[in-house]
Structure 1
Amino acid sequence: MVMSLRVSELQVLLGYAGRNKHGRKHELLTKALHLLKAGCSPAVQMKIKELYRRRFPQKIMTPADLSIPSVHSSSMPATLSPSTIPQLGYDGHPATSPLLPVSLLGPKHELELPHLTSALHPVHPDIKLQKLPFYDLLDELIKPTSLASDNSQRFRETCFAFALTPQQVQQISSSMDISGTKCDFTVQVQLRFCLSETSCPQEDHFPPNLCVKVNGKPCSLPGYLPPTKNGVEPKRPSRPINITSLVRLSTTVPNTIVVSWTAEIGRNYSMAVYLVKQLSSTVLLQRLRAKGIRNPDHSRALIKEKLTADPDSEIATTSLRVSLLCPLGKMRLTIPCRALTCSHLQCFDATLYIQMNEKKPTWVCPVCDKKAPYEHLIIDGLFMEILKFCTDCDEIQFKEDGSWAPMRSKKEVQEVTASYNGVDGCISSSLEHQVSSHQQSNKNKKVEVIDLTIDSSSDEEEEEPSAKRSCPSISPASPLNNKGILNLPHQASPVSRTPSLPAVDTSYINTSLIQDYRHPFHMTPMPYDLQGLDFFPFLSGDNQ
């Protein structure tokens, strides 16, 4: 069967098996025969039969023609027979599906078979999907294969099949975690879709109106994103699909995947199935640490390059200010990192960045909003030194020679200002002490205090002249700070007619002026011989 294949078909077979597909025909035949003698997987055998049917579509195949006497490998399932290999002839006629026989789908799916796939499938394009940081690739169950259908309608459907080896079944079964409410697997069967482009590794990209069924059961897909504009069709976020819970963990029965989608003009899509192992953010952080810390001289060279004066520019940058707080969590950096593709010096915390992408993988730099994949992350050695020596500052400034200096925060500036105010307070206290000492020298002098406030509670009292009262003189036992001060007490009244005035320090007023104002307002005592006379009759007579 292999000897009858052409050069193009031999190249497809070797490429599917992951072997070198370059060379002349006899070299390709030798490689294919060595592949068979070394023991090939059931998927490779399925591919050989598919290519043979495409080479001789009118030939009636029998079980004797399909048998491969040269293949005797212990790694193959013991129950592998022509009836369990897809694309077998059925009742002497070619199978309707090139991948699955009717007997594998069961009685309830026999009527659904004619509309699944066509007799011709495209070859496997040379497509590579982007590596996912949170998954380690263990095996390739279905190589990237183009989505194609025999009909020319807009809505299309095709079918794929893959089989698991005993080792793969053991890996999946042993990774089962039933501690939570949902049964999870660390080793997963992962389904991925992408564009059929060979120029670079492709990101996950879902075809329009995608629908997936695994072993006849619908597979749940990521929910639709809300449209950004009115009238725009909502789209699903393109992510890998975990189909482990729908896969038959058996080495005797293959698994089927039915994919339906809407065709687009000028766009072709491919799908692939992988066996992967899921990783946690802790493992990724340990791997990032294992890569080592980048030499601080690299960052110093970048600083000098940024601060080098441009002779053609009139504006020159003389310093750079960088924060030691993570832009994601607004906390102090613990593991400062940035991507090699970033041109800035500002770092972000590696722990928070990896944990954020574990929940929603975007891998976008929080500083410049550019792609910052995990493979390009580096730990900055210069920032590690700065965090070690600068423990009481959250912002630093880089200079032209690559050195750095801490920047004071607003709180520290306020503390310094308060210390200056404390010095001013000491100076004012010394002045007050000098004034009080000057007043203490005249403590035995008698000082008259004049009350200038008006205590009035009605409009009638406003018409009466203000009473002049003589306040008792300050005794030596009185406080020193009250001596020589005009005491202006504010008496409580229903309506205050006069605003309260602060006490006036008379140390700045000449003492002679105070003595001059004291005598006119002092009431002279009445003579002794006039104290017993009654003057009211005389006043009433004058009024009459």
Structure 2
Amino acid sequence: LRFCLCETSCPQEDYFPPNLFVKVNGKLCPLPGYLPPTKNGVEPKRPSRPVNITPLARLSATVPNTIVVNWSSEFGRNYSLSVYLVKQLTSVTLLQKLRAKGIRNPDHSRALIKEKLTADPDSEIATTSLRLLVPQLGKMRLAVPCRAVTCSHLQCFDAALYLQMNEKKPTWTCPVCDKKAPYDNLIIDGLFMEILNSCSDCDEIQFTEDGSWSPMKPRKEKAEVCGPAAFRGIEAASLYTVSSESKNSSENKKKVEVIDLTLDSSSDEEEPPAKKPCPGSSAVPAAAGPKGVLNVDHQPASVLRSPPMAALGGDYLSNLPVPDYHPSYPLPSELQGND
């Protein structure tokens, strides 16, 4: 089932009426979903494509089929609809039919090249260099170069990949110039076929004014490779450097144990407040050493320890001072006379 504008001046494309409603044999026919709007406030549109009504139709010569169609009328616009009996063709079948049509004469493309380069050689610089291995459509070398007869550019795209893409999502748009490129307008370029068959190791070609072409090889940077002797010298030097650095680092690890970053602070920073000495502890002068390095051998212990106590003898308690206690205490006045 297809819809289009009722206009006979030129061929019409599929075009759905607004608020379309289709029923086939009393059952609602599903239509293509609305596309999300590209801008805020824009009304979403339904893509106009042929509607497959085969699942709802009665495939019998004796039983009739009924189709009911409704839409919102528009002033000055009329619509037409038609039902076609078609068979879906795969991309493989379409490629075979395209090959069966034949290849366009290479002289036609050469004449187009001469026309472009002779008119203004400086303005068509982009068209004189064509990519063969990595075209805009796909990332592999062209197998069947084709383009639409309505396209004015020389660049071709791969026919097999183009048909496969349109089999999944039919847009039929040229990937080079973004113009309409329907299947009936596709042709296989004979000049490109000759180039692909004779030039298998180049990515780009350059055309001249007489229509001839030459491969463009990519520029490769010259890289100097060191000889075996130089490589051994570099390797030995690097090993010596690594071993000396590891030796120095091991010696530094033995000498340096603690690094105090606060001792080497900048003059702009405020000095931290001095720590109050703990009662009963005496300051021990630190040994002279490099700035910012503390020696563990002369570092005072952070925990105060009592001096070692000698063994206690029997006369230790007799030497202790005895406080002066009076044998009797005067009784308070409240307690006197209670005995």
TM-score by length of 2: 0.65
What is the distance in 2 between the residues matched to 1:209 and 1:201? 24
Task: Label 1:360 to 1:317 Cα distance change in 2 as closer, same or farther (>3 A).
Answer: closer
Structure-2 residue corresponding to 1:494: 252
What is the distance in 2 between the residues matched to 1:335 and 1:249? 40
Percent of residue pairs identical: 72
Cα deviation, residue 316, structure 1: 5.6
What secondary structure does 1:271 align onto?
A: strand
Matched, 1:320 2:78: no
Matched, 1:219 2:35: no
Q: 1:387 aligns with which of 180, 196, 201?
A: 196
Cα deviation, residue 356, structure 1: 0.7
Q: 1:253 aligns with which of 52, 63, 71?
A: 63
Cα deviation, residue 256, structure 1: 0.9
Q: 2:95 aligns with which of 285, 289, 304?
A: 285
Structure-2 residue corresponding to 1:335: 144
Structure-2 residue corresponding to 1:397: 206
Structure-1 residue corresponding to 2:162: 353
Structure-2 residue corresponding to 1:344: 153
Letter in 2 for 1:275: L
Pairing 1:170-185 to 2, within 5 Å after superposition: none
Task: Label 1:317 to 1:373 Cα distance change in 2 as closer, same or farther (>3 A).
Answer: closer
Task: Label 1:317 to 1:268 Cα distance change in 2 as closer, same or farther (>3 A).
Answer: closer
What is the distance in 1 between the residues matched to 2:135 and 2:68? 46
What secondary structure does 2:66 align onto?
A: strand
What secondary structure does 2:108 align onto?
A: helix
Task: Label 1:316 to 1:342 Cα distance change in 2 as closer, same or farther (>3 A).
Answer: closer
What is the distance in 2 between the residues matched to 1:349 and 1:251? 43
Q: Work out which structure has the larger RCO, using CA pairs closer than 8 Å and 6 or more positions apart in sequence.
A: 2
TM-superposition CA deviations, 1:53-82 (whole Å, max 9, x none): xxxxxxxxxxxxxxxxxxxxxxxxxxxxxx
Pairing 1:7-406 to 2, within 5 Å after superposition: 191-310=1-120, 315=122, 320-324=128-132, 325-406=134-215
What is the distance in 1 between the residues matched to 2:9 and 2:171? 22
RMSD between superposed Cα atoms in Å: 2.4
Task: Label 1:271 to 1:334 Cα distance change in 2 as closer, same or farther (>3 A).
Answer: same
What is the distance in 1 between the residues matched to 2:11 and 2:23? 26
Cα deviation, residue 233, structure 1: 2.0
Letter in 2 for 1:207: P
TM-superposition CA deviations, 1:71-126 (whole Å, max 9, x none): xxxxxxxxxxxxxxxxxxxxxxxxxxxxxxxxxxxxxxxxxxxxxxxxxxxxxxxx
Cα deviation, residue 231, structure 1: 2.3
What is the distance in 1 between the residues matched to 2:114 and 2:20? 52
Cα deviation, residue 229, structure 1: 2.2
Task: Label 1:403 to 1:212 Cα distance change in 2 as closer, same or farther (>3 A).
Answer: same
Letter in 2 for 1:334: A
What is the distance in 1 between the residues matched to 2:69 and 2:83? 13
Contact 1:212–1:259 (CA<8 Å) still a contact in 2?
yes
What secondary structure does 1:383 align onto?
A: helix
Letter in 2 for 1:231: G
Structure 2 runs not aligned, ≥5 long: 231-235, 237-243, 254-339
Letter in 2 for 1:383: F
Structure-2 residue corresponding to 1:452: none
What is the distance in 2 between the residues matched to 1:365 and 1:317? 20
Cα deviation, residue 194, structure 1: 0.6
What is the distance in 2 between the residues matched to 1:404 and 1:251? 61
Task: Label 1:316 to 1:206 Cα distance change in 2 as closer, same or farther (>3 A).
Answer: closer
TM-superposition CA deviations, 1:199-240 (whole Å, max 9, x none): 111111110010100111100111111112222222211111
Structure 1 runs not aligned, ≥5 long: 1-190, 433-480, 482-488, 496-544
What is the distance in 2 between the residues matched to 1:402 and 1:252? 64
Letter in 2 for 1:382: L
What is the distance in 2 between the residues matched to 1:316 and 1:197? 40
What is the distance in 2 between the residues matched to 1:309 and 1:206? 44
What secondary structure does 1:331 align onto?
A: coil
Task: Label 1:346 to 1:316 Cα distance change in 2 as closer, same or farther (>3 A).
Answer: closer
What is the distance in 2 between the residues matched to 1:263 and 1:320? 52
Contact 1:309–1:317 (CA<8 Å) still a contact in 2?
no
TM-superposition CA deviations, 1:222-273 (whole Å, max 9, x none): 1111112222222211111111111122223321111111111121111111
What secondary structure does 1:235 align onto?
A: coil
Letter in 2 for 1:200: C
Q: Which runs of 4+ in 1 moved over 4 A?
A: 315-319
Contact 1:301–1:402 (CA<8 Å) still a contact in 2?
yes
Contact 1:281–1:355 (CA<8 Å) still a contact in 2?
yes
What is the distance in 2 between the residues matched to 1:223 and 1:309? 48
What is the distance in 2 between the residues matched to 1:245 and 1:235? 25
Task: Label 1:253 to 1:396 Cα distance change in 2 as closer, same or farther (>3 A).
Answer: same
